[in-house]
Amino acid sequence: MDDDRDPEKLTDMASQTTDAPAQTAPPPGRGDVAIRTSGLCKRYGATVAIADLDLEIARGEVYGYLGPNGAGKTTTIRLLLGLHRPSAGRAELFGVDAWREPVAAHRRVAYVAGEPFLWPSLTGAETLELLASVRGGVDVAYRKTLLERFQLDTDKKVRALSKGNRQKVQLVAALSSRADLLLLDEPTAGLDPLMEVAFRESVREASERGQTVFLSSHILSEVEALCDRVGILKQGRLVDQGTLAQLRHLSAQTVEVTFAGEAPTLPELSGVEVQRAGANSLRLEVTGPIAPVITALDGLPVLELTSREPSLEEVFLHHYDGTGSDG
Amino acid sequence: MASATVAAPASASPGLALLRRAFGDARTRTLSFLALFFLYAWMQAVGYRDAYPTLAARLDFARSFAGNDALRLFYGYPYNPVDVGGYCAWRVGGVLAIVAGAYGLLGAVRALRAEEEAGRLELVLAGTIGRQRAYLASLGAVGAGIVLLWLAETLGLLAGGLPLGGSAYLALATVSVAAVFAGVGALVSQLAPTRRLALEISSGVLVLCLLLRAIADASHSLDWLRWATPLGWAEQLRPFTGQQPAALVALAACSAVLVAIAGRLARSRDLGSGLLPARDTAAPRTRLLGSTLAHAVREERTSLAIWVLGAGGYGLVLGLVSSSISSAGISPAMRRELKLLGSGSITTPRGYLSLIFIFFVLTVSLFACAQVAAAHREESEQRLDTLLSLPVGRSRWLAERLALACGGAVLIALASGAMTWLGAAWEGVPVTLMQMLEAGANCLPAGLLFLGLAALAYALLPRASGALAYGLVTVAFLWELLGSVVRAPSWLLKLTPFAHIGFVPERPFQLGAALVMLGGGLAGALAAVVLLRRRDIGGG
């Protein structure tokens, strides 16, 4: 049955912390995995929204889930929450099947929806109160800190709040729950840059406390700043996954060389793609070792040489510009 | 490719495009109302002619009912119940005018306030269309629907064998009420900041207008009150019986004034707000926030209070006028006829009250549909995702909503009984409080059956569930009213749950039928609670 409630509903809401949900302790050996999906598929009629998704996210990880609009990020989260039924495969949160036992799974999860729809007639404070008491506990002291950090006027009714402010209500509710796993669906859409800073601070705090964060986003700088590991979703498929260092390694390093006078023609080098970047400069995309490039440039009139790692944006675009379609 | 960037707009006029969209948006409702208007008009005309073929039979009928104040509460005043036209003016005009009023206000609130609340109007007004034209275009869609209703009723009456002129005039009398209430809906849409509040206020106005008409029709000293309600003006048009088109002026003027005032307000206020003072900030009140059930009570309590007050108020009036019922004018033949119809003895106050409680069965059933629709809105407006991401099971959530609906239904049923008793006792009618509470409770089996069926529709076909639930209740009720009039075979008549309700307290409580209905409702609700586990929630 999905409708058993936690019999030990806490009345003292201030005292609850998230580290001891004893009654839902995962079986030994599986406790290190917060999210696991295997062969997860979701079709809506003829449309394939998610195809054969295998994710494994360890406890304490901050995982960035990247993809443009319509790639299937929200569908993935709906499947993780057990709101939509998998067409094939399964999704587990802390070893608990998300579709079959959503209530048990949700005891350790807090969710921020991409579209902040809440009850228009409740104020922010009332909404927080409702969500906290239905959850069965909240860290009141931390909630106070968050309210100050996000500068939220909790006396305003939801119907009078802007999208960004409604988003803040959701964020405060989720973060103050101290849940083991935060499922955040594009949580900063609608937040201003100052609040983006507050958000990043809060995610770092959550990470330091050992909470797992699943951050769906298309804001690359945010993911780059926060996440230990990144998955890139394209048309419902995970096309790349790894730490930022790993992802960068797979992509080219960019070397730009400016010469005194017209740029010469370099000899053919394996793993190096040469493009003309102006009359006097070349851009080299280096996928292999850098040493042959240095050797080739030796003795040439080099004025300026810059080398940089690819940004996440370049990694991302690599998968989306059509050339790297098979990841 | 450059030449293709300036594509021709799909519609030359943005106003027309908006009108079309608003009209299309309401098409399911419009189609249901059209079917209702046509069928009801047609069946009443045919049924009356079949049931009372001779003048003698009609005179007998008229003697029995024309002098019967209490019947006028629902049908209005019969000016000439001895010919088909006059009968239809009374029965068709009297009932469909109320339905037309509901169509007008639902349509206007949907096209104006709901669009604004959802933020779509903002998008529209960011384009090249001005406020005034957008307002008129949205209302134009309601107007187009009203014209179609007029056609449907006219055609229904024509199909029933009535002359074209009289049919068109009677239909006009009916739908002019829709125009007035479209004006009411338009005005309230400017005042109330939310669709929900706008619907609650404008339905309140409709119920008040109906109460005024009921009092005017039933009481000889207060018949001037007929001039205080648009439903009374429609009666004053007197289709088929010494037509008085002058009342049309009142209807048209009232509608025009309301629409003009609302239009003026629509132009001059801030978009996205209402003119009623609405406080956007408040100190937190944490009562009824402790659980999902408590919160559902908090969200629904205003609406529930309106249902209870409306039903109770009507019950009070019914009780008061029931004392006027007497068997003096009713012939033995007509009494036999009534017995055949299974109505028991309508010729005593108690018999009348027993019979009339079928309208409270309808009320409770509609309330059940409204509660399931409210639950569905939690999902369609994506708040359910937020609730279900907490440790709350969806089965448990739906079960709680249904339990709340049950509780509300019990309150409405008992309030109807108690208030009817109060009115009746005031006038010295010999019924006891217990008897009338029993009559109220007797509304519950059918109401809860419809609650279970509506819940099942929601679990299986969420998007169609509103239309299915309201449609089922309406069809079942009309079949009860009309089936016997058109002399359908008895097995067909028995298909509607309304046919299986004992007219308590005049007739015995139908325990068997009540148990079957309760069982059906419970089965539907349980199936809904289980089946909701199997489908995707929201978004898809």
Please list the pLDDT of chain A residue by residue as tens digits (327 residues): 444 444 433 334 434 444 434 444 444 445 589 999 999 999 999 999 999 999 999 999 999 999 888 899 999 999 999 999 999 999 999 999 999 999 999 999 999 998 888 998 899 999 999 999 999 889 999 999 999 999 999 999 998 899 999 999 999 999 999 999 999 999 998 899 999 999 999 999 999 999 999 999 988 888 989 999 999 999 999 988 998 878 876 667 788 899 998 888 888 888 888 888 888 899 888 877 888 888 888 888 999 988 887 777 777 777 776 544 443
Give the residue on A whose Cα is nearest the Cα of B534: A85
Is the pLDDT assigned to residue B369 strictly greater than 70? yes
Query: What pLDDT is recorded for position B274?
Result: 86
**For A44-47, which contacts have Cβ atoms below 8 Å and span 24 or more sequence positions?**
A44/B540
Query: What pLDDT is recorded for position A29?
Result: 47
Of A44-48, A127-131, B60-64, B502-506, where does mean pLDDT reach its minimum? B60-64
Set of chain A residues whose Cβ sits within 8 Å of the Cβ of B386? 111, 113, 117-118, 131, 170
CB pair distance less than 8 Å for B399 and A3: yes
Give the residue on A whose Cα is nearest the Cα of B378: A119
Of A146-155, B218-227, B248-257, where does mean pLDDT reach its minimum? B218-227
Question: Which residue has better confidence, B70 or B531?
Answer: B531
Is the pLDDT assigned to residue B344 strictly greater than 90? no
B323-348 burial code (b ≥16 CB/10 A, e <16) = bbbeeeebeeebeebbeeeebbbbbb
Contacts of A263 (CB under 8 A, 6+ apart): A257, A276, A278, A279, A280, A281, A282
For an interface test with A, which of B289, B384, B530, B534 has the most A Cβ atoms less than 10 Å from its Cβ?
A: B289
Residue B353's nearest CA partner among B377, B323, B331 is B323
Pick from A1, A113, A154: CB nearest B385: A113
Task: Inform me whether the C-beta atom of residue B283 falls under 8 Å from chain A C-beta atoms.
Answer: yes
Give pLDDT tens digits for B431-451. Answer: 999 999 999 999 999 999 999
Give the residue on B whose Cα is nearest the Cα of A104: B391
Task: Inform me whether the C-beta atom of residue B526 falls under 8 Å from chain A C-beta atoms.
Answer: no
% of chain B at pLDDT higher than 70: 90
Return residues 291-310 of B near A (CB < 8 Å): 291-292, 295, 299
State chain B's mean pLDDT as an integer: 88
Pick from B281, B291, B395: CB nearest A2: B395
In angstroms, the CA B488 to CA B483 distance is 6
Pick from A3, A83, A131: CB nearest B390: A131
CB pair distance less than 8 Å for B193 and A130: no
Task: Inform me whether the C-beta atom of residue B537 falls under 8 Å from chain A C-beta atoms.
Answer: yes
Contacts of B311 (CB under 8 A, 6+ apart): B360, B363, B412, B415, B416, B419
Query: What pLDDT is recorded for position A115?
Result: 87
Give pLDDT tens digits for B99-136. Answer: 999 999 999 999 999 999 888 898 888 888 889 999 99
At B65, the pLDDT band (50, 70, 90 cuts) reads low
Least Cα separation, residue B391 to chain A (angstroms): 5
pTM: 0.85
Looking at this predicted complex, what is its ipTM? 0.84
CB pair distance less than 8 Å for B382 and A113: yes
At B334, the pLDDT band (50, 70, 90 cuts) reads low
Which H or E element spans position A111? strand A109-112
Q: How far, in Å, are A6, A95, B361, B500, B519 from residue B516 at the CA level?
A: 36, 45, 16, 10, 5
- DSSP letter (8 states) at residue A39: E
Q: For residue A280, give both structure tokens.
A: 């006097």
Set of chain A residues whose Cβ sits within 8 Å of the Cβ of B279? 157
Q: Which amino acid, B20?
A: R
Phi, psi (rounded to 5 degrees) for B352? -60, -45
Is the pLDDT assigned to residue B54 strictly greater than 90? no
Give pLDDT tens digits for B294-326. Answer: 999 999 998 899 899 989 988 998 888 888 776
Least Cα separation, residue B363 to chain A (angstroms): 27
- DSSP letter (8 states) at residue B488: -
The residue whose two tokens read 């050339």 is: A323
Set of chain B residues whose Cβ sits within 8 Å of the Cβ of A85? 534-536
Pick from A113, A121, A136: CB nearest B391: A136
Query: What pLDDT is recorded for position A63?
Result: 97
Cα B151–chain centre separation: 21
SS3 state of residue B450: helix
Set of chain A residues whose Cβ sits within 8 Å of the Cβ of B535? 85
| Mean pLDDT across B184-201 | 92
